[in-house]
Amino acid sequence: MSKKEKLSIEKKETKRKSNYTIALAGNPNVGKSTIFNNLTGMNQHTGNWTGKTVANATGYFEYRGETYKLVDIPGTYSIMSHSEEEEIARNYICFGNPDATIVVVDATSLERNLNLVLQITEITDNIIVCVNLLDEAKKKKIEVHLEELSNILKVPVVGVTARKKKTLNNLLKVMRSVCEGKEGINPIYQIHYDEKIEKAIEQIQESIMEQYKIEEKLARWISIKVLDGEKRILKEIEKQLNIQLINHSKIDNARREALETLGEKGIYQEEFKERIVSTIVKDAEKIGKKVCQFGNKDYANRDRKIDKILTSKKYGIPIMIVFLLLIFWITIVGANYPSQFLFSVFGNIQEKLIEFATYIHCPEWLSNMLILGVYQTLTWVISVMLPPMAIFFPLFTILEDLGYLPRIAFNMDGFFKKACCSGKQMITMCMGVTKWEIF
């Protein structure tokens, strides 16, 4: 408890009114859930595969007298396409009205992560970039100039090592000042597309702002989507903002005109999307080059050598089998002792319960139903199931932290593909096997 007091964060179990809402966004595997858990004191399972946060997880915490609601949205590389996670993430950032959006990025692959950051800068000004895994980056001899990044993006940038709670203090401080409106007075970074595309965006933006009372930034973003012509996103925007876009004659006219002009200049609808994505990726590359400094590449080479062995034809699968068997063996053998212990404890209590039932002259049918039925079944299930789970999942987490799970998926994908699955299913299967072995 003392550690938590230092951070002056209090765990809140019950839902309560919050003063501020914070969204937590980021690529998959950047430590979003670790930050979420450390701030809220909750214990959401962290995993290493895409879309593991299927829905938004919500937690509460207190900092300096204010209650904050933290919403952990699904990890995605982008918020422009159709997958379920991306839709949930996009909808929350756009329409959830968070007071601030923290975008967690991985210091070891900043460039790729900046792609998402830039996409979010198109939607909201209240962004905090949280650079995580600085310790990993240091190990890999990558230096990230946080101040420079903040100067370019014109948003607060905080460096943390999520596993160490202490380092989150700074994030909290910045978060507070953003929520209270002390930051973000100046306009933040804006992506500039091709001159021709900018013109087209402007056209639509004007027509949207004529029709509806929408803030300039949001109108710009909607304009890009209108030009893009993705019906699903547009329909969602219509629903959320209660406006009409697709069948609105004036906007549709503006759209047609803009597309015509673009077409005359050689940019066709199909290409439009690619141009947008390319501009963002190139911007991310430019910024990444400015703020990251790479030391010698020895470390990456060592990693690559280990990877070569772990995925080789000869050793890849045997190593995997040994690893998994070892984990299963530890789980099965190790679980026996706590299982027996639980059995005997619950058994003793059961005897006492029966004695008590006889003592109060409880009718036999009732005591049998409650004690031999409900109680016994419940305790047996707990004694059998709980210990293996308590052993298996932490062990599996170690494999996750080592980054071995994606390697397993990589090794197995070829075989799983034959069954029209992906290698990722191997991990789900491992989980399944433990549950099966318990019985």
Partner 1 sequence: MKEKTVNELNLGELGVVNKIIGEETIKRRLLDLGLIEGTNIKPVLTSPSGDPRAFEFRGSLIAIRKEDAENIKVK
Footprint on this chain of partner 1 (rule: CB under 8 A): 77-78, 80-82, 108-109, 111-112, 115, 273-274, 277-278, 281-282, 284-285, 304, 307-308, 311-313, 316-317, 406, 409-411, 413-415, 417, 423
End-to-end CA distance of the chain: 38
Which residue, 192 or 352, has its beta carbon nearer to partner 1? 192
Q: What DSSP assignment string belongs to 321-359?
A: HHHHHHHHHHHHHHHHHHHHHHHHHHHHHHHHHHHHHHH
Chain centre to alpha carbon of residue 61: 19
Minimum distance from residue 186 beta carbon to partner 1 (Å): 28
The Cα 223–Cα 15 span in angstroms is 37
Which residue, 96 or 406, has its beta carbon nearer to partner 1? 406
What CA–CA distances, in Å, run from 70 to 162, 173, 178?
15, 15, 14
Minimum distance from residue 413 beta carbon to partner 1 (Å): 5
Contact (Cβ atoms closer than 8 angstroms) between residue 254 and residue 204:
yes
Minimum distance from residue 116 beta carbon to partner 1 (Å): 9
Minimum distance from residue 302 beta carbon to partner 1 (Å): 14
Element (H, E) at 138: helix 134-139
The Cα 312–Cα 310 span in angstroms is 6
Minimum distance from residue 406 beta carbon to partner 1 (Å): 8
The Cα 104–Cα 280 span in angstroms is 18
Minimum distance from residue 35 beta carbon to partner 1 (Å): 21
Minimum distance from residue 77 beta carbon to partner 1 (Å): 5
The Cα 72–Cα 85 span in angstroms is 12
Contact (Cβ atoms closer than 8 angstroms) between residue 30 and residue 104:
yes
Which residue, 309 or 349, has its beta carbon nearer to partner 1? 309
Q: Which residues pair with 158 in a beta bridge?
A: 130
The Cα 245–Cα 225 span in angstroms is 10
Which residue, 264 or 270, has its beta carbon nearer to partner 1? 270
Contact (Cβ atoms closer than 8 angstroms) between residue 155 and residue 128:
yes
Which residue, 278 or 340, has its beta carbon nearer to partner 1? 278
Minimum distance from residue 437 beta carbon to partner 1 (Å): 25
Minimum distance from residue 405 beta carbon to partner 1 (Å): 13
Which residue, 65 or 414, has its beta carbon nearer to partner 1? 414
Q: Is 151 helix (H, G, I), strand (E, B) or coil?
A: helix
Q: Which two tokens stand for residue 404?
A: 């071995």
Which residue, 277 or 330, has its beta carbon nearer to partner 1? 277
Find where tokens 């005359």 sit: 264
The Cα 80–Cα 83 span in angstroms is 9
Which residue, 281 or 382, has its beta carbon nearer to partner 1? 281
DSSP 27: -
